[in-house]
Amino acid sequence: MSGLYIHIPFCQDKCTYCDFFSGNQLYMVDNYVDALCREIELRSNYLEDKEVGTIYFGGGTPSILNERQIGKILKQIVKYFVVRSEAEITLECNPEDVNEVFLKGLGEIGINRISLGIQFLEDDILSQFNRKHSKALIYSALRCLEKSTIKNLSVDLIYSVPGVDNASLLATLESLCKFNILHFSAYSLTIARNSKLFWKIQSGEFVENVENEFLKQYSTVYDFLTSKGYIQYELSNYAKDGFISLHNLGYWNQIPYLGIGVSAHSYNGISRQWNHTNIKKYIRELEGGILNIEIEHLTENQIFNEYIILKLRTLQGISQSYIKRVFREEIQSTFAFRISKLIKKGHFISDSDLIVPRQSDLLIADYLAKDLMI
């Protein structure tokens, strides 16, 4: 089984903390959709297994597209792949784009999961970071979603934001949990190097939260959501039972996926490929039936290192039998030596096969991974 990722690189405007690849040249959207359809056709052989279990429209802002444009892409996918009848098909939406007609249209073309980019509930913070929606629009979107046939709802939140104290964060979580939200992605505010916020910090116009405030708010999110029955299955992701994001899980389980669109990455177990980031060039190339793609063939060491990094971010843990089955003996013995030291130090719990990081150590998972990488 494989996954498909479709990148929609358009936004109304740039949020100040964001450095994702996106632009506001909305006049290009139709031509871009045609180019995506051409790429789907040209690259359908990248995945050995044509059976698709998840499709994810990410961005940018995929909800800038209308139902007709999204439906056109989905039809093209169905033409070149075998989409499972129970496939998870997610569209990232911004609250200002959500209304009853749009949701009805999305349901009719097969979208069955919405990831809603709320981020904050305070109007002054939303406007400070140049988000295009208000608290009123967030509630309006959530009410529309409650009435819609699309029941699988995920919400994105950002915490550890200066000006939003722990009590406000708790109030946000309490308000949102009154709706039937099945999945939360909660990230702390990170300052990307190419974002506007980065330069505001350099000039002293904006001051980041201190480490202690981040830790306090991370615990608030964890304590609150787990008390409401959400399972933390990855450092920043919480789901009700049965609603873990299958697409995310695919990345963490190294399931092959094809990324379509500018800047999209693909992985098929042997190589990684990625598209360039020039929208005009992308459209022009695909009109001519070509696409310049960067390729990196992965070494066994790289595949092992990725396995370790991905597994330590989740509470699924590292499978010893998988390591024995897949990697050469030298890697196996190095891993066995290093992991036994970390288990003795109390960072992991191990059973006959799985070695799982302690929940309290998820925050240092990247450091632990460094000790295990080849």
- 357 contributes a contact to ligand SF4 by CB under 6 A: no
Minimum CB–partner distance for residue 164 and ligand SF4 (Å): 17
Minimum CB–partner distance for residue 7 and ligand SF4 (Å): 10
- 14 contributes a contact to ligand SF4 by CB under 6 A: yes
- 18 contributes a contact to ligand SF4 by CB under 6 A: yes
Q: Determine the interface stretch with ligand SF4 among 58-66, 235-243, 275-283, 291-299 (rule: CB under 6 A).
A: 58-66
Residues 105-164 interacting with ligand SF4 (rule: CB under 6 A) = 117
Minimum CB–partner distance for residue 372 and ligand SF4 (Å): 32
- 199 contributes a contact to ligand SF4 by CB under 6 A: no
The answer to whether residues 42 and 289 touch, using CB atoms and an 8 Å cutoff, is yes
From the CB of residue 138, how many other CB atoms can be counted at a distance below 10 Å?
26
Phi-psi label, residue 130: left if phi above 0, alpha if psi -120 to 50, beta otherwise: left
For residue 10, the 8-state DSSP code is B
Angle between helices 100-109 and 135-147 (to 10 degrees): 50
Minimum CB–partner distance for residue 370 and ligand SF4 (Å): 29
Tokens at residue 328, please? 């050469």
From the CB of residue 354, how many other CB atoms can be counted at a distance below 10 Å?
17
Distance separating alpha carbons of residues 348 and 338, to the nearest angstrom: 12
- 187 contributes a contact to ligand SF4 by CB under 6 A: no
- 266 contributes a contact to ligand SF4 by CB under 6 A: no
- The one among 1, 20, 265, 301 contacting ligand SF4 by CB under 6 A: 20
| DSSP secondary structure letters along 311-364 | HHHBTT-EEHHHHHHHS-HHHHHHHHHHHHHHHHTTSEEE-SSEEEE-GGGGGG
15 vs 89 by CB, closer to ligand SF4: 15
- 90 contributes a contact to ligand SF4 by CB under 6 A: no
The site for ligand SF4, by CB under 6 A, has a size of 11
Minimum CB–partner distance for residue 22 and ligand SF4 (Å): 5
- 61 contributes a contact to ligand SF4 by CB under 6 A: yes
Pairing relationship of beta strands 237-239 and 231-234 according to DSSP bridges: antiparallel
